[in-house]
Amino acid sequence: MVKKTSNAIKRTPGEWAFDIINTIILVLIIVVTLYPFIYVLFASISNPSMIASHTGLLLWPIGFDLSSYSAVLENPNILMGYKNTIFYVLVGTSVSLLMTILTAYVLSRKGYMLKRFLTFMAVFTMFFSGGLIPFYLQVNRLGLADTRWALIFPAAMSTYNVIVMRTAFSSIPDSLEESARIDGAQDFTILFHIVLPLSLPTVAIMVLFYGVGQWNSWFNAMVFLRDRNLYPLQLILREILILSDTSDMVTNMVVDREMIGETIKYATIIITTVPILLVYPFLQKYFVKGMMIGAVKE
């Protein structure tokens, strides 16, 4: 009878200590990172007068009250900002993704003569730019200023994302393309039926990057937009948080304006943050794989 032997590797006290210290540090990082969001959440559903007089840590809501959310959701500017932001995210992400895919596919072709030159010109823009004033003049001359397209076309493509996507396309075996061309396939057929299906993790990451970028964008809107009906949600959020403009939401409320104004800021942060957080669980499984593809192979 053969006696079973254990394959477990004995760990040294130093290794145990290293794991324990790492775990403690990671837990502290999680707490420090997560607590501000928890604070804002609890403050947004607390009683305005009680939260105004509260000091120190906030570990649970103080006097449950949803009046701040009611005030925010009844504000027409918030609803208008949501509508505009959804448009910018959907249309902007689609345009950016299409342009990135097409550019990356061209730059990943080994037989393309201008590949090195175009790659150099694209990378050059990552380190040097004309500055804000020439950028504004260019957008204005193109007739895009004070239109929705000012937030979509000027920043439609990221050089970094193109490089990541190009690297992912380059990692696909050449034999697949060669066999497809023997069967009579053209570039668009190869791209959409072979290259893209094999690069879904990277495509998912591009959707996440461009989508989050559009959702959080406010600077270009502040520079190029004058019509408030075109404002994205983040620009309205900036007015509420930085300029402390909550007058539209407290006019008809009987509580102290300054007190309810603070909880309205917290409620606005939650309302503008939660939707984009809900996207992460669906794309998380692609995140590491997609980033590693773009980071390892040149």
Residue 56 located in a structural domain: yes
Residue 220 located in a structural domain: yes
Same domain, 31 and 162: no
Residue 165 CA to residue 290 CA, distance in Å, equals 9
Domain count, the chain: 2
Same domain, 254 and 186: yes
Same domain, 225 and 122: yes
Residue 6 located in a structural domain: no
Same domain, 20 and 85: no
Residue 290 located in a structural domain: yes
Same domain, 95 and 226: yes
Boundary-marking domain end, from 50, 65, 80: 65
pLDDT values of the chain reduced to their tens digit, one per residue, 298 residues: 455 555 557 778 888 888 899 999 999 998 888 888 888 888 888 877 777 777 777 778 887 878 788 878 878 888 888 899 999 999 999 999 999 999 999 888 887 778 888 888 888 888 887 788 888 898 999 998 889 999 999 888 888 889 888 888 888 888 888 888 888 888 888 888 888 888 888 888 888 889 888 888 889 899 999 888 999 988 888 887 776 655 555 555 544 455 566 778 888 888 888 887 777 777 666 666 555 555 544 4
Residue 80 CA to residue 228 CA, distance in Å, equals 9
Same domain, 36 and 181: no
Same domain, 36 and 74: no
Segments forming the whole domain that contains residue 271 = 70-296
Same domain, 152 and 262: yes
Same domain, 47 and 186: no
Same domain, 82 and 28: no
